[in-house]
Amino acid sequence: MNDYLCHDFKSPRADASRRLPNSFRFIPVVFYLALVAGLYFITMDVLALRKADRDKLAAAQMREQYMEAKAKLESELHTVDVERLKAQEVAKWVEGTRVMQPICVAAARTIRGEVSIAELALDRSKELPAQIDVSLRLTGADASHVAAVETAFTKLSYRPYSPQQARTGDMIDYRSTLVFVQE
């Protein structure tokens, strides 16, 4: 009998495939290197994402500060514009009074002696700026004083239109519309 207890029923045969080339030994090394590189890039991306979030918050805060500063500057600009408009209105008023001043001075210079000006009112409408409504109240005057005032207005190139005089006691109320005459 045979000494072997076990018989091998396999038939001897040649290798089914050839061995892998030696360069394939680097595949596990490349796998682990790719795994380490992937972890590195993921870590870098997470850090960059956190930095981007911080930068985004900082940019939002800067934008908020900018908007506050912009609103403050716009309110100051609005205040300056309002003041500029007021100043323009004052300048227009002063420009308009330049025409009125010679009329007031001419009326005041013609009044002499015991006669005094109780009231002098000059009104100019926006629609007809060349016309000035004059209301003059003289105390202790007569018709010659009113004629002197009209002559002074005529010297300033203003023509009295529809003058009216009313005497009450020692006062004369004179009303007229002065029209500027181009010469």
Residue 65 sits in a domain whose CATH number is 3.30.1360.100
Answer with the residue of higher pLDDT: 16 or 166: 166
- Looking at the domain assignment, is residue 8 inside a domain? no
Instruction: Specify the length of the chain in residues.
Output: 183
- For residue 72 the two structure tokens come to 């403050």
Distance separating alpha carbons of residues 73 and 79, to the nearest angstrom = 10
Does residue 2 fall inside a structural domain? no
Choose among 143, 149, 146, 141: nearest CA to 110. 149
For residue 56, pLDDT over 90 is answered with yes
Q: What tens digit of pLDDT does each residue of 143-176 get?
A: 888 889 899 988 888 888 888 888 888 889 999 9
pLDDT higher than threshold 90 for residue 116 = no
CB 153 within 8 A of CB 105: no
Phi then psi dihedrals of residue 139, to 5 deg? -105, 130
Residue 69 is assigned to a structural domain of this protein: yes
153 falls within a domain: yes
Residue 145 lies in a domain: yes
Asked if pLDDT for residue 130 goes beyond 70, the answer is yes
Mean pLDDT of 119-143: 84
pLDDT over threshold 90, residue 6: no
Instruction: State mean pLDDT over 25-48.
Output: 95
Is residue 21 domain-resident? Answer: no
- Tokens 């870590």 belong to 43
What DSSP element (H or E) covers 101? helix 26-110
5 occurs within a structural domain: no
The whole-number pLDDT of residue 42 equals 97
Give the helix, strand, coil percentages of the chain, each rounded to 5: 55, 20, 25
Considering its fold, how many domains does the chain have in total? Answer: 1
* Residue 134 burial class via C-beta count within 10 angstroms: exposed 0-12, middle 13-18, buried 19 and up: buried
Longest CA span, the chain: 176
Partnered with residue 134 across adjacent β-strands are: 122, 176
Structural domain for 120, as ranges: 29-183
The pLDDT of 51-80, averaged and rounded, is 96
pTM score = 0.49
**Residue 57 in domain:** yes
Range scoring the smallest mean pLDDT among 64-68, 91-95, 107-111, 122-126: 91-95
